[in-house]
Amino acid sequence: MAGEMEIMLDKSEMDIGNLINGVNDNIIRKIKDTIMDNRTKALKKHNRKISTLKDGRYATYVDDMTKKEGRHKLIAPTYEDLLDKLAAWYFKEEAIIPVKAIQKVLTLKSLYSKWSREKQLDGRSSNPTRLWYDWKKYCLEEELSHDLIEKPLGSITSLELKEWVNALNDKYNFNVHQYYNATSPVRQILEYATEQGYIKANPYSKNLISKKKFIQEEKEEPETQVFFVDEIEELWNLAHDGTATGIAICFMLKTGLRRAELLGLKYSDLSKSGTYLSINRQYVFDFEFDKNGKPTKKIPHLVERTKTKAGKRKIYLVHNARELLNELNEYNKLHNLTGEFIFQSEFYEDFHMGYEAVEKKLYRICDKMKTIPKSQHKLRKTFVSKLLDDGINIDEVRRIAGHENEKTTLRNYCYNRYNKTQTEDMLEKALA
């Protein structure tokens, strides 16, 4: 069989230093096209049977007059590997590019930019800003990660990854959630590289670190996550001030909608009776990236899909919620807002309310209440906690909230809405 095959790339193309700030697509295209072309030509030229061995490997014979039997046996773990061996055998006088060329050129660092862009195009839900933060902190700026992220993909082993994640954990003392965030870019880039055929197998496994090594994740204090029972009346009165953003805050408190869902609501989503509301779309951000893969600009737009499959749902509007919509309808008429959105912009024709408008107003209200500042998402947690307190079946609460399973509902959205004194009084009565 032919010896080491030559890689026909210009010196400048092969210089990994030139790839650090983003993968050269021409290199990848050149490599992959050449691989496929040579496999096709080799298969056409080969006139012997390709067999599958008992151990799952692939084998065939090629003519070789230097052998006593006049033939030489080729064996490979996969069909594609065998085709590469055939190409090397038949075209050894020509310079061809083996699969390993990709592994020699690409690194985690050089692939990050391409991966982050394509991840967005695929519509995957991870936040690019969050991913960049973790990539920058735990990879680019972390000395423990420098060798790993600049090592050719084909050379990275499970043992090296195991040593890396354990060293990171020893330094940062992660809980489970923090660990998955910190290692997510490396894990996902390797998954992507495997899907694209840049590497044959993903060396990252679930068993790289024992869960016993993680610190216990503590649940946030209730006062930071929900509005207490004795705060609701003041919150409602301050928000219910005749403005569209105020109505939006009250409506979220009565429906538990995500902000991204609220802004996408259209009048066509209401049932004829006005008692049910269909959640069909959401407000999302696309991003522009710099050459390193860092998100530099948010581009907002609506999409006809929900966060998850469970997010597409129909919810019942209680009396107070229906009254709020009637108030909003009058408000829209008064301000000549005749677009299709329920929560409309006062500045742009036929456009929804601004993304930050509700959040900013809620922070101002919290300041007036002299309570811990809470984001609009805390309205959703308050809504879910109230339903659970009032005895609504957990599966129905999960469905209304648009969660895929009740574990999410209970773990992340269930909080005690009573202050310390109220809780103590309730315990006294319960255990009297």
Q: Does residue 387 share a domain with residue 347?
A: yes
Residue 337 lies in a domain: yes
User: What mean pLDDT is predicted for residues 103-126?
Assistant: 77
- What percent of the chain has pLDDT above 70? 87
* pTM listed for this prediction: 0.73
Last residue of one domain, picked from the residues 64, 82, 104? 104
Last residue of one domain, picked from the residues 88, 104, 120? 104
360-412 confidence digits (pLDDT tens): 999 999 999 999 999 999 999 999 999 999 999 999 999 999 999 999 999 99
The pLDDT of residue 179: 96
Q: Does residue 209 share a domain with residue 138?
A: yes
Domain count of the chain?
3
Q: Does residue 381 share a domain with residue 237?
A: yes
Does position 241 have pLDDT exceeding 80, yes or no?
A: yes
Q: 398: domain CATH number?
A: 1.10.443.10
Last residue of one domain, picked from the residues 166, 185, 213? 213
What is the three-state SS of the chain?
Answer: CCCCCCCCCCHHHHCHHHHCCCCCHHHHHHHHHHHHHHHHHHHHHCCCCCEECCCCCEEEEEECCCCCCCEEEEEECCHHHHHHHHHHHHCCCCCCCCCHHHHHHCEHHHHHHHHHHHHHHCCCCCCHHHHHHHHHHHHHCCHHHHHHHCCEHHHCCHHHHHHHHHHHHHHHCCCHHHHHHHHHHHHHHHHHHHHCCCCCCCCCCCCCCCHHHCCCCCCCCHHHHCCCHHHHHHHHHHHCCCCHHHHHHHHHHHHCCCHHHHCCCEHHHECCCCCEEEECCEEEEEEEECCCCCEEEEEEEEECCCCCHHHCEEEECCHHHHHHHHHHHHHHHHCCCCCCECCECCCCCCCECCCCHHHHHHHHHHHHHCCCCCCCHHHHHHHHHHHHHCCCCHHHHHHHHCCCCHHHHHHHHCCCCCCHHHHHHHHHHHCC
Q: Does residue 226 share a domain with residue 203?
A: no
Q: Does residue 400 share a domain with residue 346?
A: yes
242-277 confidence digits (pLDDT tens): 999 999 999 999 999 999 999 999 999 999 999 999
Q: Does residue 162 share a domain with residue 30?
A: no
Q: Does residue 226 share a domain with residue 164?
A: no
Residue range(s) defining the domain that contains residue 49 = 11-104
Q: 165: domain CATH number?
A: 1.10.150
